[in-house]
């Protein structure tokens, strides 16, 4: 089965270069009308220029596709709202949102400024919130939406010098998890991409030969799958150099401690059972954790919950 997006309208943020450009081009090749959003700033978020976005639009049009450039700063909701309104006015709907825009302000936590920390959160986390919020009601009304948030191994697992970036990239996972629940009855799927790519944001951070393997084009198929009509939901798909995997947040089965053992010493004594990986699973909503704990307590105390 060939995956296509004929009749669909996609917004890709940060689409002037790198990953975003690759995502926009491939969506267009498969039939989507694309809003190429790019502020046109440097990797650290400074400056702005429309040249990159216009260049990608020209590439799409040369291939016979439809696209429009937009320079909205994703950290500013009024600009994002105007971008989404322009897309709806031109094409009548918005079906796909790929939150890709980002900046870097890498420094160790001790040396980094709170101003830089806030800026990275504003672009990565609030930028994703702003774009999703501006599209959300449209997708609810048309009962169709496919949204991708871009996370990172820096958020999922940590990376030295990237507390700001890591915090933002883990934040979008929390956003995804709840949006999945709220969008379910409206046929809105929300997934996360964890890319490893050789772009201007990663240049100089790895050996040249490794950098050359990590092309944006090897990551984009993951996005194309995540935004497909029959694509998954609530999935963290990792991609890079042609490799693909799924990351999951799991919780151990754990154990219940009797009242006299509900102490830090009791936890230490039973740590092996509490942390044992056997039976660990990915919970699908926060209340599942509460339910598990209550069920264990009731069983331990001999209490019926009925």
Residue 132's pLDDT band (boundaries 50, 70, 90)?
very high
Rounded average pLDDT over 25-40: 97
Structure tokens at 199: 């772009």
User: What's the pLDDT tens digit per position in 196-245?
Assistant: 976 555 666 667 787 789 999 999 999 999 999 999 999 999 999 999 99
User: What's the pLDDT tens digit per position in 104-120?
Assistant: 999 999 999 999 999 99
Residues 6+ apart with CB under 8 A from 264: none
Residues noted as catalytic = 165
What proportion of the chain, given as a percentage, has pLDDT over 90? 90
What class is the 9-246 domain?
Answer: alpha beta
The domains of the chain are located at 9-246, 259-301
- Identify the pLDDT of residue 116: 98
Least confidently predicted of 2-11, 79-88, 194-203: 194-203
C-alpha to C-alpha distance for 39 and 27, rounded to whole angstroms: 20
CB 201 within 8 A of CB 104: yes
- Identify the pLDDT of residue 201: 56
Question: Taking the model in full, what pTM does it have?
Answer: 0.94
- Identify the pLDDT of residue 209: 80
Q: Long-range pairs for 54-62 at CB < 8 Å and ≥24 separation?
A: 55/16, 56/15, 56/16, 56/21, 56/24, 56/25, 59/25, 60/24, 60/25, 60/28, 60/34, 60/36
Residue 287's pLDDT band (boundaries 50, 70, 90)?
very high
User: What's the pLDDT tens digit per position in 37-63?
Assistant: 999 866 666 655 689 999 999 999 999
Rounded average pLDDT over 257-276: 98
- Identify the pLDDT of residue 185: 98
């Amino acid at each position: 089965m060939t995956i296509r997006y004929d009749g669909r309208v996609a917004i890709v943020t940060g689409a002037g270069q790198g990953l975003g450009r690759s995502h926009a081009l491939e969506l267009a090749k498969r039939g989507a009308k694309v809003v190429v959003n790019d502020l046109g700033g440097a990797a650290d978020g400074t400056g702005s220029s429309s040249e990159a976005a216009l260049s990608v639009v020209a590439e799409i049009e040369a291939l016979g596709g439809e696209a429009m450039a937009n320079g909205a700063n994703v950290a500013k909701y009024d600009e994002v709202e105007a971008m989404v309104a322009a897309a709806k006015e031109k094409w009548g709907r918005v079906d796909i949102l790929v939150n890709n825009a980002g900046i870097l302000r890498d420094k160790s936590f001790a040396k980094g400024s709170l101003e830089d920390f806030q800026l990275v959160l504003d672009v990565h986390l609030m930028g994703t919130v702003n774009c999703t919020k501006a599209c959300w009601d449209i997708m609810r009304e048309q009962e169709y939406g496919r949204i991708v948030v871009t996370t990172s191994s820096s958020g999922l697992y940590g990376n030295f010098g990237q507390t700001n970036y890591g915090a933002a990239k883990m934040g979008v996972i929390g956003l995804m998890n709840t949006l999945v629940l709220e969008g379910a009855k409206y046929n809105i799927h929300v997934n996360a991409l964890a890319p490893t790519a050789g772009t201007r944001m990663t240049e100089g951070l790895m050996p040249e030969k490794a950098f050359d393997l990590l092309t944006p084009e090897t990551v984009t198929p993951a996005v194309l799958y995540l935004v497909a009509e029959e694509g998954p939901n609530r999935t963290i798909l990792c991609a890079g150099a042609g490799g693909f995997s799924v990351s999951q947040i799991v919780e151990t089965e754990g154990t219940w401690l009797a009242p006299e053992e509900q102490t830090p010493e009791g936890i230490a004594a039973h740590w092996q059972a509490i942390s044992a990986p056997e039976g660990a699973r990915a919970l699908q909503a926060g209340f599942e954790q509460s339910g598990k704990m209550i069920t264990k307590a009731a069983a331990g105390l001999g209490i019926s919950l009925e």
